[in-house]
Copies of this chain bind each other. A is one copy, B any other.
Amino acid sequence: MLNGLYEHSAWIAEQALSQRPFRSLAHLKHAMVQVLGAAGLAAQLAVIRAHPELAGKAMVDSHLTVESTHEQDRAGLTHCTPQEFAKIHQLNAAYKAKFDFPFILAVRGPRGTGLLKQEIIETFERRLQGHPSFELQECLRNIHRIVEIRLNDKFGVAPTAGNQVWDWHEALAQFSEPLYQEEGQLTVTYLTDAHRACATHLVQLMSDSGFDEVVIDAVGNVVGRYLSKQHAARTLLTGSHYDTVRNGGKYDGRLGIFVPIACVRALHAHGQRLPFHLEVVAFAEEEGQRFKAAFLGSSSLTGQFDPSWLDQTDVHGTTMRTAMAQAGLNPLDIASLRRQPEDYLGFVEVHIEQGPVLAELNLPLGVVTSINGSVRYQAEIIGTACHAGTTPMDRRHDAAAAAGELILAIEKRACRDGDSVATVGQLLVPHGSINVVPGRCQFSLDMRAPSDAQRDAMVRDALTALAEICARRQVRYTLEETLRAACAPSAPAWQKRWEQAVNALGIPVHCMPSGAGHDAMKLHEIMPQAMLFVRGQNAGISHNRLESTTSDDMQLAVDAFSQLLSQLAGEP
């Protein structure tokens, strides 16, 4: 049954089979991942090297690509031009020279239908730039993906709901602001034409999927309700945002809208009703891209929409008030969007991870323990600008060297906690000259941890380090706190429901903090909440067009959400 899954490495499937019985196909897939992971570097390299080079169709007679002829037919490397063929040949040679193993890519891609020729070549070029140890793991991940697709074929299983959710993302991504759309970039900021087109599209999708009520509310949220037969029942709230950052990914936010829609669609198709109302909210705004304020959608539901935000302006000078009027929204109605906690069971949110953890662990899903608290600063170190040739090292007050020391100090401090993060994302010596010792260095500081206490302890140490470094180097500094967000630990009962749902799919339960902020962080203030993360491809990159996930992982997210609904329905 499992013959031919791996190129010349049948032992992986054989060893995995010793773990029978399997609770699901996902369980079997993970067993094989574990066998290869435990086999050690030499065995992993041998598995990779058993694969032939990536080949264009012109070479199909002499060599196969990494996948079978059947798979190659479904991928995009057919009918290569001589230029493309030469390019692939050259990339293969460069890759082999750098890594000493062949480039492996699951050419059937995240939807299983095949990558485009251009996507394959771009991926090849990008991965050629990678670090050898990362690239080794990326090849193994691609082998797992190839095997996953082969297993689906062998078992005649298709991730039908996952494919549908994948396709919905594609359809929604057709709407982008014109300036970005020309360059193939996805940008949907609050109340632009593209944003309003998304809302209309989502209304249609929810209606088609069987929701009983679908409205665009006063802040621009698309709200669909799938009602229980018991009118007095409480409501489970879920959803995520449909706006994007500039040049963002297709899945950030939207996955958390489409997954519950897929569940409602299935319930509706089977004529099933839940013993509670299900309310799916596509939040209009979370990213804070067009105006300074962020979380406009979820803030409205918690009664925290601040009317003074209406006077904020975008880069063109348009106020939020004007933008809302143009969209036919009445800001005076926002206050009425506030939800009464007693009407609600809680809030759950599905979201793409936006980080590398699940990808590195080869796990499709993760359960969120807490949304990290964060503190942000804008800082400047002021030393003394002086001649880089004439000022002896021991007489310098170098602002950049002080900043460099701080970067390393906070890196070390965050590492000590294990699950804290600290980042200097912006760094600049203003008007720096090659021959002038930096007199000023500006930087940002972003620190996050799973608990406010842990975060505050780190912040304290970081600021002490800054003061100590500056005193020792005889430079001074300015520091402005620009954000302080409390962390939002998951409600234990709701986290437990997600854990049970994941476990029911035969997948190891992995619990993890969320480093990024999410709408759940806002809803946290008025009701219990917990989130489910879905693995991202490409090292979990996000806020980037390379953001991606597979339709198989989306299927698991839909399955987990359905599990959660069933569990909840069965609870006394």
List residues of chain A with CB under 8 Å of any chain B CB.
129, 131, 133-134, 353-357, 360, 372, 374, 376, 378, 382, 384-395, 397-398, 400-401, 403-408, 411, 414-415, 419-429, 432-438, 441, 444, 446, 448, 474-476, 482, 514-517, 539-544
Contact = CB atoms under 8 A, between A and B. Distances in A.
Contacts of A541: 384-386
B390 A401 contact: no
A404 B401 CA distance: 7
A441 B404 CA distance: 12
B398 A411 contact: yes
Nearest to A447: B388
A432 B129 CA distance: 21
A437 B426 CA distance: 9
A390 B129 contact: no
Contacts of A435: 376, 423, 425, 446
Contact of A415 (B388, B394, B539): B394
A353 B389 CA distance: 11
Given A134-B474, A403-B404, A356 B395 contact: yes
A393 B415 contact: yes
B427 A517 contact: no
Given A401-B408, A415-B393, A423 B360 contact: no
Contact of A129 (B382, B391, B414): B382
B437 A391 contact: no
A389 B543 CA distance: 12
15 contacts: A355-B390, A376-B435, A385-B541, A385-B544, A386-B541, A388-B448, A388-B515, A390-B514, A390-B540, A393-B420, A404-B407, A408-B408, A425-B432, A426-B433, A428-B429
A400 B427 contact: yes
Given A392-B419, A401-B407, A427-B432, 6 more contacts: A372-B389, A386-B541, A389-B446, A390-B540, A432-B444, A436-B543
Nearest to A410: B401
A434 B429 CA distance: 16
Q: Which of A382, A423, A446, A541 has the most CB of B within 10 A?
A: A423
Contacts of A544: 385
Contact of A405 (B360, B404, B424): B404
- Max chain B Cβ within 10 angstroms of own Cβ: one of A134, A378, A392: A392
A425 B372 CA distance: 36
Nearest to A542: B387
Nearest to A407: B404
Nearest to A384: B539
Interface-centre pick from A395, A403, A415, A437 (highest chain B CB count, 10 A): A395
Given A393-B414, A404-B404, A474 B427 contact: no
B129 A421 contact: no
7 tightest A-B CB contacts, nearest first: A355-B390, A389-B515, A404-B404, A390-B515, A388-B423, A404-B407, A426-B432
Contacts of A134: 474
A397 B134 CA distance: 11
B374 A389 contact: yes
A60 to B, nearest CB: 34
Residue in A129, A353, A400, A433 whose Cβ sees the most chain B Cβ within 10 Å? A400
A411 B355 CA distance: 34
A355 B387 contact: yes
Contacts of A408: 401, 404-405, 408
Contact of A360 (B386, B395, B397): B395
Contacts of A434: 376, 378, 423, 425-426, 444, 446, 482
A355 B407 contact: no
A421 B393 contact: yes
Contacts of A540: 386-387, 390-391
A515 B411 CA distance: 34
Contact of A386 (B355, B401, B406, B432): B355
A387 B474 contact: no
B421 A389 contact: yes
A356 B393 contact: no
Nearest to A405: B408
Contacts of A397: 131
A401 B395 contact: no
Contacts of A390: 353-357, 514-516, 540, 542
Nearest to A389: B515
